[in-house]
C-alpha cells in the first residue's frame, strides 16, 4: 500500500452539471429507467432534443453507479455518446452547446473510476474531440471537457501526454494560464499522469513547463494549486529537476514555495507542504538550515485538524514525510502528532479514507521509536485500531494491520503480554484469510510480533488455532507468506516452555521442518533453521528435537551448512549445532561426527573453517561458539574432541583470529585457546 504525494484536486469526482434550459418534460426518476437499446436509438436520433434527454438520462443514471456504467458500456453506449459529441462539434447554435456539454460530461462519468469505461472512451476515439472542446468559446463547454479529461487522466490507462505532438505544449501552457480552474486542474492531472519516468519529467522541463509553473505560483488560487501539484510530479525523485527548481533565480522559487506554507488557503498550504516533502525526499540538504523540517511537521499536524479532503490528505502527506526517519518522527512527536491523530481516531464515524490516513500516520509514528509507541498506547486509542481490523474497506483493514505491526514492536508491552488478547489476535488470525494478499501478509507480521511472548504462556494462541494456521501457511505458494509464517513460529518458540515446544513440533513435524530448510527461497531456509535453533535452545531436554526421527533435522541442518546460500542461513545453522553441542558428551560427539564427515568429504572447504574465515563477524562469532561448546572442559570427551579439532586445522585458524577486529570473536578465541591449553600436553 503506497502513500503517494500526488493529491487529487477538489474536482476529482463526478459532479452533476446544472440543467440547461430545455423544454420541460416530466422525467422519470433516473433509478427507474433501465439501460436498454432504446437509449442507443434515442442517442442516434436526429432530434437534438431527444438526444439531449437521452444523454441526461444516461449521465444521471451512471453517476456514482458502477453497475449501470458497466451495463451501458456493454450496450455500446460510449461510442454512441462519442458520436453525438463528434456531430455536435460540427454543428453550431445553442442546442449544439448543450449537446457538447452533456456528451462531454457523460464520457467523463464513464471514465470515472472504471477501467472498462476509460477503455471504452479511448476506443471510441473521443479523446481528440474532448481536447478540441478546450478551445471552445463557451466556458461551460470548456469546463465540462476539462472535468472529463481530468477524470480520464487520473486513470493509468490514459495515454501519456505527448509533448512532441503539434500544439500540445501550447495547449498545456494555455490550460495553465487559463482563469478557469477546471482547466488548471486538468493541466495538473495531465502533468501528474505523464511525469512518471525521469525522461518524461525532463521533457516537461525542457519545454518551459517548469518555468511556467514557477511563474504561476504567484497566480490565482487555482493556478497556484495546479502549479504546486504539477511541481511535485515533475520533481518527484528527480535530482536534476529538483536541483533546477532549487537554483531557480538563486533560490527565489524555493523561498516562494516555503512562503506558500503560510497561505490562508489550507489546500494551498497542504500542496506547498507536499511539494517541499517531494524536494526533501530527493535530497535532505534542500531544506537544511532553515528550520523548514520543524515547520513542515508543525503545519502538517495543524492541517490534520482540517475537515474534508485537506485533513484527509494531510495524514498521508505526514506519513510520507516521516517514513523511516527517526528525526522527523521525533519532531512530529514533539508537535503532538500522536495526540491529534488519536483524538481523531476516537471520533465516530470516520470516512474510510480519513481513517486509513490516520492509521497509516500512526503506524509511521510508531515504526521506530519506543516512546512514540508508549505515547500511543497511553492515549487509549488502541481499541480503535483493533476495531478497524474488521472494517469493510480493505484499505482501512490494511492500514490497521500496518499500525498493529509497528506498535507490536514494543518489547516492553510484549513482555507485559499486552497484545496477547483475543480482541487483537483473533481478528488478525481471521485476516490471514483476507481476500487481499497484502492484508494477509501484514496481519501475519503483526501476529509474528505478538507471539514473542517472553514470560506468559502461548497456550491461548495455540487454543485459538493460531499455531495450526501458521503451519498451514508455511506451505503457501507465496514465499513471503511461507517465510513470515515461519518467522512467527520462530518467535513462538523463542524461550518457549517445553509444552509449547512440544505442540509446535507436533504440529509442524520434523519432516516438514527439515524440508523447509531446503526451500528454494533463502529467507524461508533461514527461518526454518532459526526455528530449529530455538527448539534446541533453553532446557537441556530440548536438544532431543534435533535427534527426532533418526536425526533428520540435524541432517537437514548439515546439508544447508554445506551449501549455505546466505550468511544468515550459516549463522542460524551453526547455532543449531552449537546448541546441540552445549549438551552432554553424546550430543557433542554427534555434532563432532557431522563436522568430521564434512571435513572428510574433501570436495569443498569445510564449512566450519569457511565460516571462521568469513567477512561477517556474526558468522565468525557463531562458529566460535560451536567450538567453545565442543571444547567445553566440563565433559569427559573434551580432550578427544579438541584433538580432532586441532587435526582439522581449527586450532591453527583460531591462532590467526587472536587479533580479529571483532571484540566478541577475540574473546571467544581467548576462551577456546584457554580451554585448549587445559588439555594440551605439548
Determine the Cα–Cα distance for residues 391 and 436; give it in Å rounded to an integer: 13
Determine the Cα–Cα distance for residues 193 and 187; give it in Å rounded to an integer: 10
SS3 313: helix
Contacting residue, 61, 144, 194, 449, with another protein by CB under 8 A: 449
- The reply to whether 629 sits near another protein by the rule CB under 8 A is yes
Determine the Cα–Cα distance for residues 494 and 501; give it in Å rounded to an integer: 9
C-beta closer to another protein: residue 48 or 405: 405
C-beta closer to another protein: residue 448 or 653: 448
- The reply to whether 490 sits near another protein by the rule CB under 8 A is yes
Determine the Cα–Cα distance for residues 267 and 147; give it in Å rounded to an integer: 19
3-state SS, 431-468, equals: HCCCCCHHHHHHHHHHHHHHCCCCCCCCHHHHHCCHHH
Q: How far is the CB of 636 from another protein (least distance, A)?
A: 10
Q: How far is the CB of 404 from another protein (least distance, A)?
A: 11
Task: Say which residues have a Cβ less than 8 Å from residue 124's Cβ, sequence separation at least 6.
Answer: 78, 79, 81, 82, 83
- The reply to whether 584 sits near another protein by the rule CB under 8 A is yes
The Cα-based distances of 624 to 597, 611, 630 in angstroms read: 19, 9, 10
Fill in the per-residue mask, 346 to 365: x = in contact with another protein (CB under 8 A), - = not in contact. --------------------
C-beta closer to another protein: residue 118 or 557: 557
C-alpha cell at 444: 501475519
Range in contact with another protein (rule: CB under 8 A) among 120-128, 305-313, 602-610, 668-676: 668-676
DSSP 519: -
Contacting residue, 39, 233, 309, 534, with another protein by CB under 8 A: 534
User: Using omega within 30 degrees of 0 as the cis cutoff, is the peptide bond preceding 92 cis?
Assistant: no
C-alpha cell at 496: 518457549
- The reply to whether 633 sits near another protein by the rule CB under 8 A is yes
Task: Say which residues have a Cβ less than 8 Å from residue 201's Cβ, sequence separation at least 6.
Answer: 195, 233, 234, 235, 236, 238, 241
Contacting residue, 388, 389, 446, 481, with another protein by CB under 8 A: 446
- The reply to whether 484 sits near another protein by the rule CB under 8 A is yes
Contacting residue, 67, 92, 603, 634, with another protein by CB under 8 A: 634
- The reply to whether 416 sits near another protein by the rule CB under 8 A is yes
Contacting residue, 248, 438, 494, 679, with another protein by CB under 8 A: 494
Range in contact with another protein (rule: CB under 8 A) among 221-229, 246-254, 376-384, 633-641: 633-641
At residue 30, what are phi and psi to the nearest 5 degrees?
-55, -35
Q: How far is the CB of 143 from another protein (least distance, A)?
A: 49
Would you list the DSSP string of 384-445?
HHHHHTT-SSHHHHHHHHHHHHHHTT-HHHHHTTTT-SHHHHHHHHHHTT-SSHHHHHHHHH
- The reply to whether 49 sits near another protein by the rule CB under 8 A is no
Contacting residue, 454, 465, 468, 652, with another protein by CB under 8 A: 454
- The reply to whether 437 sits near another protein by the rule CB under 8 A is no
Contacting residue, 452, 553, 609, 648, with another protein by CB under 8 A: 452
C-alpha cell at 24: 420541460
Determine the Cα–Cα distance for residues 456 and 497; give it in Å rounded to an integer: 10
Contact 52, 21 (CB under 8 A): no
Range in contact with another protein (rule: CB under 8 A) among 47-55, 89-97, 344-352, 482-490: 482-490
- The reply to whether 498 sits near another protein by the rule CB under 8 A is no
Contacting residue, 123, 334, 370, 680, with another protein by CB under 8 A: 370
- The reply to whether 625 sits near another protein by the rule CB under 8 A is yes
Range in contact with another protein (rule: CB under 8 A) among 65-73, 384-392, 483-491, 643-651: 483-491
Count CB-CB contacts under 10 A for residue 364: 27
Q: How far is the CB of 582 from another protein (least distance, A)?
A: 3
Determine the Cα–Cα distance for residues 573 and 527; give it in Å rounded to an integer: 10
Q: How far is the CB of 413 from another protein (least distance, A)?
A: 10
List the beta strands (DSSP E) in 56-112.
none
Range in contact with another protein (rule: CB under 8 A) among 78-86, 292-300, 392-400, 623-631: 623-631
Selection from 224, 148, 160 nearest residue 192 by Cα:
160
Determine the Cα–Cα distance for residues 445 and 381; give it in Å rounded to an integer: 21
Determine the Cα–Cα distance for residues 145 and 171; give it in Å rounded to an integer: 14
Contacting residue, 103, 129, 136, 632, with another protein by CB under 8 A: 632
Determine the Cα–Cα distance for residues 116 and 74; give it in Å rounded to an integer: 9
C-beta closer to another protein: residue 285 or 415: 415
Contacting residue, 124, 384, 536, 598, with another protein by CB under 8 A: 536
Contacting residue, 292, 621, 623, 653, with another protein by CB under 8 A: 621
The residues of the shown chain that bind another protein, judged by CB under 8 A, are 370, 405, 408-409, 411-412, 414-416, 445-446, 448-449, 452, 454-455, 484, 487, 490-491, 493-495, 530, 533-534, 536-540, 572, 575, 578-579, 581-584, 588, 621, 625, 628-629, 632-635, 662-664, 667, 670-671, 673-675
Amino acid at each position: 500500500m503506497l502513500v503517494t504525494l500526488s493529491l487529487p484536486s477538489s474536482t476529482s469526482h463526478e459532479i452533476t452539471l446544472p440543467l440547461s434550459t430545455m423544454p420541460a418534460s416530466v422525467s422519470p426518476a433516473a433509478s427507474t429507467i433501465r439501460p436498454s437499446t432504446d437509449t442507443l436509438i434515442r442517442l442516434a436520433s436526429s432530434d437534438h432534443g431527444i438526444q439531449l434527454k437521452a444523454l441526461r438520462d444516461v449521465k444521471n443514471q451512471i453517476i456514482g453507479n458502477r453497475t449501470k456504467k458497466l451495463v451501458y458500456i456493454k450496450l455500446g453506449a460510449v461510442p454512441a455518446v462519442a458520436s453525438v459529441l463528434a456531430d455536435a462539434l460540427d454543428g453550431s447554435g445553442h442546442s449544439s452547446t448543450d449537446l457538447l456539454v452533456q456528451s462531454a460530461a457523460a464520457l467523463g462519468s464513464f471514465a470515472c473510476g472504471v477501467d472498462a469505461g476509460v477503455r471504452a472512451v479511448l476506443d471510441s476515439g473521443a479523446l481528440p474531440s474532448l481536447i478540441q472542446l478546450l478551445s471552445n468559446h463557451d466556458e461551460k463547454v470548456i469546463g465540462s471537457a476539462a472535468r472529463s479529461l481530468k477524470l480520464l487522466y487520473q486513470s493509468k490507462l490514459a495515454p501519456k501526454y505527448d509533448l512532441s505532438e503539434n500544439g500540445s505544449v501550447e495547449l498545456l501552457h494555455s490550460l495553465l494560464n487559463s482563469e478557469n480552474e477546471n482547466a488548471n486542474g486538468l493541466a495538473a492531472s495531465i502533468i501528474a499522469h505523464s511525469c512518471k519516468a525521469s525522461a518524461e519529467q525532463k521533457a516537461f522541463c525542457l519545454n518551459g513547463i517548469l518555468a511556467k509553473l514557477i511563474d504561476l505560483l504567484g497566480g490565482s488560487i487555482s493556478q497556484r494549486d495546479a502549479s504546486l501539484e504539477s511541481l511535485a510530479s515533475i520533481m518527484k525523485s528527480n535530482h536534476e529537476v529538483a536541483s533546477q527548481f532549487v537554483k531557480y533565480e538563486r533560490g527565489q522559487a524555493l523561498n516562494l514555495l516555503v512562503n506558500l506554507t503560510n497561505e490562508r488557503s489550507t489546500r494551498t498550504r497542504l500542496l506547498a507542504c507536499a511539494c517541499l516533502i517531494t524536494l526533501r525526499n530527493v535530497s535532505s540538504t534542500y531544506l537544511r538550515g532553515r528550520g523548514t523540517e520543524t515547520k513542515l511537521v508543525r503545519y502538517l499536524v495543524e492541517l490534520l485538524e482540517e475537515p474534508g479532503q485537506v485533513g484527509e490528505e494531510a495524514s498521508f502527506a505526514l506519513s510520507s514525510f516521516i517514513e523511516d526517519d527517526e528525526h522527523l518522527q521525533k519532531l512530529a512527536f514533539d508537535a503532538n502528532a500522536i495526540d491529534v491523530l488519536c483524538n481523531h481516531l476516537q471520533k465516530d464515524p470516520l470516512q474510510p479514507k480519513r481513517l486509513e490516513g490516520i492509521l497509516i500516520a500512526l503506524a509511521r509514528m510508531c515504526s521506530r521509536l519506543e516512546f512514540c509507541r508508549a505515547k500511543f498506547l497511553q492515549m487509549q486509542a488502541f481499541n480503535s485500531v483493533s476495531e478497524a481490523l474488521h472494517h469493510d474497506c480493505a484499505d482501512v483493514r490494511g492500514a490497521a494491520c500496518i499500525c498493529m505491526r509497528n506498535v507490536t514492536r514494543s518489547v516492553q508491552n510484549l513482555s507485559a503480554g499486552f497484545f496477547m488478547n483475543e480482541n487483537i489476535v483473533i481478528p488478525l488470525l481471521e485476516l490471514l484469510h483476507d481476500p487481499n494478499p497484502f492484508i494477509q501478509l501484514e496481519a501475519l507480521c503483526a501476529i509474528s510480533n505478538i507471539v514473542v511472548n517472553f514470560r506468559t504462556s502461548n497456550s491461548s494462541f495455540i487454543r485459538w488455532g493460531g499455531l495450526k494456521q501458521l503451519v498451514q501457511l508455511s506451505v503457501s505458494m507465496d514465499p513471503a507468506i511461507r517465510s513470515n509464517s515461519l518467522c512467527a513460529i520462530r518467535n513462538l518458540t523463542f524461550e518457549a516452555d517445553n509444552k509449547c515446544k512440544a505442540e509446535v513440533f507436533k504440529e509442524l513435524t520434523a519432516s516438514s521442518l527439515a524440508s523447509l530448510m531446503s526451500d528454494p527461497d533463502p529467507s524461508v531456509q533461514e527461518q526454518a533453521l532459526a526455528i530449529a535453533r530455538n527448539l534446541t535452545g533453553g532446557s537441556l531436554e530440548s536438544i532431543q528435537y534435533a535427534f527426532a526421527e533418526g536425526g533428520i533435522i540435524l541432517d537437514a541442518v548439515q546439508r544447508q551448512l554445506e551449501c549455505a546460500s546466505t550468511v544468515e542461513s550459516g549463522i542460524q545453522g551453526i547455532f543449531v549445532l552449537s546448541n546441540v553441542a552445549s549438551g552432554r558428551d553424546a550430543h557433542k560427539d554427534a555434532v563432532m561426527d557431522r563436522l568430521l564427515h564434512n571435513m572428510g568429504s574433501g570436495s569443498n572447504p569445510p564449512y566450519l573453517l569457511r565460516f571462521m574465515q568469513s567477512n561477517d563477524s556474526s558468522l565468525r562469532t557463531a562458529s566460535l561458539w560451536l567450538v567453545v561448546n565442543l571444547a567445553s572442559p566440563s565433559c569427559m570427551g573434551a580432550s578427544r574432541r579438541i584433538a580432532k579439532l586441532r587435526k582439522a586445522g581449527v586450532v591453527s585458524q583460531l591462532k590467526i583470529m587472536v587479533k580479529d577486529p571483532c571484540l566478541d570473536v577475540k574473546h571467544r578465541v581467548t576462551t577456546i585457546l584457554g580451554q585448549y591449553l587445559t588439555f594440551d600436553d605439548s
